Structure 1
Amino acid sequence: MAAAVADGDGCDAIRERLRALVRRPRARLHWRDEEDADRLRISQTVGACDLTNVVVVGTPVDPKRQERARRKCTERLFHELHSIGVTRVFMETRTQALNARDVQMIEAMRGAQSIPRALRVEFARPLEEPMLWIPDAVAGAVAAGKKGTGSFIEPIRSLVDEHTIDL
């Protein structure tokens, strides 16, 4: 799981750079749908942006317990984001039921005081918010690096703050 941390004043320029990478007829960047040459261009573009990327890698993931893994990674990710001063988080929207589950998870984390109540969490659609494309690409580049394809992570390595948790 990944998050891109950027100064709000610089996001419009980053959005434009990302939109310029979209190959038609697609409407957005999505790591799994891209060719390797495009993945490298995406990594290079992200690497040239003024931002930090926080990544939480949870292992091993039991395919039957992916939502649990998501909760654990989200909790650590939000903790790390709060520790560097982030006050507002945009999560990629999923289905209505899964969004409701995420809201319950966030409220439970607040109740357990593992994240502060002041941390605002909102949902956004990747078709409308290109900044959501960055965590997808960063997570993809990190995963590729762990599988032996380091060419995608190299352009962004200095911008990635990676944390590993045991699931």
Structure 2
Amino acid sequence: MLTMAAAFHLFAWVDESVIIGPPGGSGTYTMAAVVADPAHCEEFRHELRALMIRPGVRLHWVAESPKRRHLIAEAVGRMDIAAILTVGTPMERSKQERARRCCLERLLYELDQLGVSEVRMESRTAAQDRRDVRLVDSARRKRLISHELQVTFARPTGEPMLWLPDAVAGAMSAAILGEDQWLTAIAEMVTVHQVDIR
């Protein structure tokens, strides 16, 4: 669990995992934020890079074998971080962006309440990033989040800290699909908020 201290800054890194349901059914949209003191992030980056199979190949949950997922979950479980998840259901196949908006709005609210000062989201396309920026602006206008909470974008190829929410969101999706061993390995650091997709 994340250790709190005076004059303490908190950053969060955000990624998502999506379960597409069968036609006519519903899926799940999960957004995960990993919260950490930026002063300790270089050691986390070093630990994450040590788990790479070969230089230049990032950790990516969906591409990892069960054995590798176990190693990654164990490493994540040893880190002084917290993970906040918003899990949105029901998600219709054609409504992924609506699900993302619902989950991201709730996640940003929870991060702001926690005292996070900067959120770094995994960049998608330029158009998708602009949609996320509009949601952030809307959340500020609705006073769901403060103006002090800054939201920027980064790419996982250059920022190993984004590998953490990728793993946490992936572990949550795996648990929803019946494989809960990886989520169990990090359960002490995880807080889950259920979101009804409107």
Report the TM-score, using the length of structure 1 for normalisation. 0.97
- 1:10/1:25 CA distance change after superposition, 3 Å: closer
Which shifted more, 149-158 or 17-26? 17-26
Amino acid at match of 1:24: R
1 CA distance for matches of 2:93 and 2:44? 34
| SS of residue paired to 1:60 | strand
Q: Which residue of 2 aligns with 1:9?
A: 39
Which consecutive residues of structure 1, in runs of 5 or more, have no partner in the other structure? none
- The CA RMSD measured in Å over matched residues stands at 1.0
Q: Which residue of 2 aligns with 1:92?
A: 122
1:32-72, Cα deviation, whole Å (9 max, x unpaired) = 01111111111000000000000000011111111011011
Q: Indicate which of 157, 160, 166 corresponds to 2:187.
A: 157
Alignment of 1:43-58 (within 5 A): 43-58=73-88
Runs of 4+ in 1 over 3 A off after TM superposition: none
**Alpha-carbon deviation of 1:147?**
1.5
Alignment of 1:65-84 (within 5 A): 65-84=95-114
More helix per residue: 1
**Alpha-carbon deviation of 1:24?**
2.2
| SS of residue paired to 2:91 | coil
Which consecutive residues of structure 2, in runs of 5 or more, have no partner in the other structure? 1-30
Q: Which residue of 1 aligns with 2:72?
A: 42
Amino acid at match of 2:189: L
Amino acid at match of 1:5: V
Which shifted more, 19-28 or 67-76? 19-28
More strand per residue: 2
Amino acid at match of 2:141: G
Q: Which residue of 2 aligns with 1:107?
A: 137
Q: Indicate which of 130, 152, 159 corresponds to 1:129.
A: 159
2 CA distance for matches of 1:128 and 1:32? 19
1 CA distance for matches of 2:196 and 2:70? 29
Amino acid at match of 1:162: V
Q: Which residue of 1 aligns with 2:28?
A: none
2 CA distance for matches of 1:165 and 1:107? 20
Report the TM-score, using the length of structure 2 for normalisation. 0.82
